[in-house]
Amino acid sequence: MDTPRMGIDDRLAEGMSMAEQHEYLRAKLSRRRVIRGGAAAAGVAAGAGLLGSSAYTAYADTTTAAQASGHLRKPATGEVDGKHVAPFGRHLAFGADPKTQFRISWQVPLAVKKPFVRVGLKPWDLGKKIEAEVRPLHTAALTSALPAVDQYYLHAALDGLRPGTTYYYGAGHEGFDPATASAFATIGTFTTAPAHQERFVFTAFGDQGVSYHALGNDSVILAQNPSFHLHAGDICYADSSGSGQSTDVYDARVWDQFLAQTETVASRVPWMVAVGNHDMEAWYSPNGYGGQDARWTLPGNGPDAEKLPGVYSFTYGNVAVVALDANDVSYEIPANYGISGGKQTAWLDKKLGELRKKSGIDFIVVFFHHCSYSTTNSHASEGGVQETWVPLFEKHGVDLVINGHNHVYERTDAIKAGAVSKQAPIGTTVNSERDGIVYVTAGAAGRSLYSFPVPDSYEGHVADLDSVDTYHWTKGGVKATETVEWSRVRYTGYSFLAVEVEPAPKGHTAKLTVSAIAESGERIDHFTVARKAK
């Protein structure tokens, strides 16, 4: 569709990298103060011991450092009594070690004084008070219909937690204390990963946005009681165009709606996100991720936490999870192509090798946005991923790859070297060591749905085909047509993944039972990935 120009010559912006887009916007909108988030200006509020000690970063330190660097507009403080301002949009994340580290993030509609988190082992005893870091984010008035927006994101880090323990927490600030009777209803919970392996469930999808269907999927996900959720990018669609161009339509207020919508689940289930093409927001930083830095606190153990905040790993039980930023290798949408200078791919090679050798890790799950393998009419397969990362997945024996980008559910047979190594009909078991990798597109979380060039085929409505005519993206954003045989399950409907993890004693068979669940709660696909436990 046509994109409003916002008073900017589209021809100048066309084809720019994210860094060029950012500088272009800063120059064009300097009087309206296009700025970046303050995550890089100060560290996360950190704790130590069981629930953490006092934070080393507070509101004044964060804003002062950021203002000195020229990146933040000083927000007003104390203009409204804190008792009239309630936290919203709470969302949890793991630190690098889910057994001992949690990150609590939330939002306030106006600037507040002395924000904090209270934590305790009982809801009526939130005795530990930890200061929070504020990451204010200002968005300039991009058009007459899109006014300037100030948003305030708050973050606290809890380290030294007990494995396998449920904690109660409440977010507050001067004038609003979750430990008081009037705010008691805002208390939430989270549970750290167990010290020993046990059965658990995690869920996954991509391309959510704000909609009735997004809310419906959230509700069904909550019923699975997952230990964590993976979001494979295109998180809220504040940038509705998704090309990474400075002329993209952008409304920062959509993030407020999204975080409020997601709070029901994300306030109790760690919401681990990857970045998609719609998450490149040129207004905040040269890499387009300044807004991501402001809103999320992720493990930060990837190759470059500032340049690639959506690249990290964590281990829960016998499953290692790796999040990647496919914008770095995308031929289709090249705004951030090559942003890491090869560092992400080198890190991936090293990290997968380490994880595969590590005792106690049976399965490696990788998730990111752009599709390794898909046949939809809209995006199909990303050749940059196939050429750069798929060989590494096969080299190190990755067990499951989860993508978004295409707004459908699609699942492949087991694949090696781009071809079917074992057909995997619904209900089958794939031995990942022997048979290869199953790739899943789970991009039907809430945005408008895409279409396939052939009929759907899913549980209860199987319509197997020998082949599908489709395409993949090549360098220069060119489509290369191809005929493929690996498209096994296709479903045009809102859905998500639920993965049940079943550990096993050493030498026995551990399992991932993967189910695709429609928004209605109906199962549309299931298969099992098996591997001998280490």
- pLDDT tens across 418-449, in order? 999 999 999 999 999 999 999 999 999 999 99
Q: How many residues does the chain have?
A: 534
pLDDT at 246 over 80: no
- Which CATH fold would you assign to the domain 28-190? Immunoglobulin-like (2.60.40)
Range(s) for CATH 3.60.21.10 in the chain?
310-532
Q: Enumerate residues 6+ apart whose C-beta is below 8 A from 422.
A: 413, 414, 430, 435, 436
Q: Enumerate residues 6+ apart whose C-beta is below 8 A from 143.
A: 4, 6, 7
**pLDDT band for position 146 (50/70/90)?**
confident
pLDDT at 10 over 70: no
Provide the pLDDT for residue 319: 98
Over range 260-269, report the average pLDDT.
97
Provide the pLDDT for residue 247: 74
Q: Would you list the DSSP string of 192-257?
A: PPPSS---EEEEEE----SSHHHHHHHHHHHHT--SEEEE-S--S-SBSS-S--TTS-B-THHHHH
**pLDDT band for position 144 (50/70/90)?**
confident
| 361 contacts 396 by C-beta, under 8 angstroms | no
Q: Give buried/exposed letters for 120-150 (b at 16+ CB in 10 A, else e).
A: beeeeebebbbbbbbbbbbbbebeeebeebe
What does the block give as tokens for 432? Answer: 């990942």
Report how far residue 440's alpha carbon sits from residue 417's, in angstroms, rounded to the nearest whole number. Answer: 17
Which of 178-182, 450-454, 478-482, 523-527 has the least mean pLDDT? 178-182
CATH of 310-532, one of 3.40.190.10, 3.60.21.10, 3.40.50.1820, 3.30.450.20: 3.60.21.10
Over range 498-503, report the average pLDDT.
98
Over range 273-294, report the average pLDDT.
94
Over range 355-360, report the average pLDDT.
96
Report how far residue 327's alpha carbon sits from residue 374's, in angstroms, rounded to the nearest whole number. Answer: 17
| 493 contacts 407 by C-beta, under 8 angstroms | no
Q: How many angstroms separate the Cα of 459 from the Cα of each of 201, 496, 523?
A: 21, 15, 7
Percent of the chain whose predicted confidence (pLDDT) is above 90: 79
Provide the pLDDT for residue 244: 80
The tens digit of pLDDT for each residue in 378-432 reads 999 999 999 999 999 999 999 999 999 999 999 999 999 999 999 999 999 999 9
* Secondary structure of 252-281 as H, E, C letters: CHHHHHHHHHHHHHHCCCCEEECCCHHHCC
The tens digit of pLDDT for each residue in 469-482 reads 999 999 999 999 99
Residue with token string 């064009």: 28
Residue with token string 């019923």: 223
Range(s) for CATH 2.60.40.380 in the chain?
28-190
